[in-house]
Structure 1
Amino acid sequence: MSSPTPVRSLFVTLKRSFAGTRDSQLRILRSLGFSYRQQTLEKPNTPQIRGAVDKVRHMVLVETDAQRAARLAAEAAAAAPRPPVRVRH
């Protein structure tokens, strides 16, 4: 059995705004590179990044590269045009 492929990068999306955020959490979000809500950043999978993301996990969505690819494919399939319905009377 083959071993699972290592996760090389993490895709981190800011889901909540900076309003009402503690100063320590705001500094963490800024250090990660966030500047606005719904922004997605690709970060390397390192213990430092994982620790920073863990401190603000209630504000962000974290996906691996495989999870992100699967989600984007599912969203594209859902948004794809469907064939027209033909009704014969």
Structure 2
Amino acid sequence: MAPPVQSLFITLKRSFAGTREHHVRILQSLGFRYRQQTVEKPNVAHIRGAIDKVRHMVLAETDVQRAARLAAEAAARAPRPPIVVRH
């Protein structure tokens, strides 16, 4: 059985511009100030409910998903071995 998820990493993908005041207040209560900011929050019901209200504006990942995504991005950036052509 997988260990329980301890943390949620939430990234704001859209700016506050043109957003309903209710959604802006929810985003501010989650700790967001600017676009592309990532905050770490505990995996509890009221945080998941707030994320659900603004799910069109945020990307939410568990700690396991985030670690896998960061590892994949690092592997994609890693230098590749040179191509050797022997004639």
User: What TM-score does the superposition give when structure 1 sets the normalisation length?
Assistant: 0.95
1:10-89 superposed matches below 5 A: 10-89=8-87
Deviation at 1:88, TM superposition (A): 1.5
Amino acid at match of 1:88: R
Deviation at 1:81, TM superposition (A): 0.3
Q: Give the Cα–Cα distance (whole angstroms) in 1 for the partners of residues 5 and 82 of structure 2.
A: 41
Unaligned runs of 5+ in 2: none
1:10-47 Cα shifts (integer Å, max 9, x gaps): 00000111111000000000110001111111000011
Amino acid at match of 2:40: E
Q: Give the Cα–Cα distance (whole angstroms) in 2 for the partners of residues 59 and 51 of structure 1.
A: 14
Amino acid at match of 1:5: P
What is the aligned-residue identity percentage?
76
**Segments ≥4 residues shifted beyond 6 Å:** none
RMSD of Structure 2 on Structure 1 (CA)? 0.6
Q: Give the Cα–Cα distance (whole angstroms) in 2 for the partners of residues 46 and 37 of structure 1.
A: 24
Secondary structure class of the residue paired with 2:15: coil
The alignment covers a number of residue pairs equal to 87
